[in-house]
Amino acid sequence: MIFYVACWTEDDGVYSCGHSHQSVRDAMNCLVPDGGSFIRAHDNGLLRSLNNREFIDFLESLKEMPWSWRNKAQGCEFTVPPTVNAEEEPP
């Protein structure tokens, strides 16, 4: 049986959220959006990196996360398109 966990590292090791998420998307709800957490598959008693299909699920789910910049940008007066250089003046 495969399930997924959100993980992060600290000085003394790797930790997980402790939940048995049935999907990568569900495990992403436990991610802390600081760039220091990640998803691992728990496959037959061993933690492993996501395979290609699971990683695609991860990437496709990013835009749906409540902390995603796409969700925060909706409803704002001004949204900078991702192709605009940060040093350019907004239109």
Q: How many angstroms separate the Cα of 52 from the Cα of each of 15, 25, 57, 58, 87?
A: 23, 15, 9, 10, 35
- For the cut 50, the answer to whether the pLDDT of residue 77 exceeds it is no
The tokens of 73 are what?
């940008």
- Ordered by start, the domain boundaries in the chain are 2-73
pLDDT of residue 79: 47
pLDDT tens column, 28-56: 988 877 778 899 999 998 989 999 999 99
Query: Which pTM does this prediction carry?
Result: 0.68
pLDDT of residue 84: 47
Higher-pLDDT residue of 89 and 22 is: 22
